[in-house]
Structure 1
Amino acid sequence: MKSAAIAALSVVGTVAVAGVGYGAYQAMTPSASGYAKVVNVKPVVTHSEEPRQECRQVTVQHQKPVKDDKQVAGSVIGAVIGGVVGHQFGGGHGKDAATAGGAIAGGIAGNRIQKNMQDKNTYTTTEEQCHTVMESKSHTQGYDVTYTFNGDQQTIHMDKRPGDRLRIEDGDVVMP
């Protein structure tokens, strides 16, 4: 019976020593579950240029259509008036020269007067004018999160911005 008691005590002692040893091991081995402290959050941002139409209303002045683009009417009317006025001067052959000179000068003047009138004959409209501008855009693609857990520092990419701590289960970050 003594040997049975010694055997029993040996088994109990071995189990106790093993239990103490396992407990000490657990105390020294970091847990694979718990909460990690977030120490840095860096947004991952991409930049792009996107075209955009920019339109505005603009007042535009147009030339009215011209029926007599050679100003023939102005030239003829000017020549007739110039000839009549020139005919009032001189005598004999001088009267004929004055009439011809008046007709030529009147024709030139009538042509220029009609051209100036046609150039000033305009109308105004409001039109939409558009052009393409490049617009800078920034898009947050996620976050590079640095955290510490059981004395180790690691970084992970997350789609959403985390809070001050992360849940860890079996050594892995649990995504919210």
Structure 2
Amino acid sequence: MQLYKQLIAGMAVAALVGLSSTANAGPQGYAADGYDYARVTEVIPVYTDVQVITPTTQCRDEQVAYRAPTSPAGTVVGGLIGAAIGNNLGDHGHRGRHHSHHRGGATVAGALVGALVGNQISRANAPVHYATESRCQVVDQYSTRRELVGYDVRYRYNGQVYLTRTDHHPGDRIRVRVAVSPAP
């Protein structure tokens, strides 16, 4: 009887262990994923170079020459002289009434040419003034900036070495997902 009780107790323990392992194995006999921590052996920061364009205003001082405004006297005097010359040229060699339009055209043409010449002489003789002006332009300045994009992390778990990239420094240990399934 003693043997019978031990046999029943042993079968009950085996049934409980079998039931417990089936419940932990999850659906279709596969274990659910779990998490653990692995020891970090190396952390290498990863950078990238980013080109930055900054518009800046650059100015320089420049000396500029200005002519004083001309008075209309040169234009008027030149026009009068030109008109007189044109009138004499238009009148030269033409006698009588039917050629009077030649004199008027020559007088107007002489006045125009004389006014232009008088204006140019007046401008050429005008005093020159110098001033310093600031000339500015926008210029793009290029620079390179290094940006941290993540960390290459080497870690050891169950005797194996792994490498991953993270966006933050993991410290001395890194959380890993552990999946267990039955061997074939």
What is the TM-score with the length of structure 2 in the denominator?
0.47
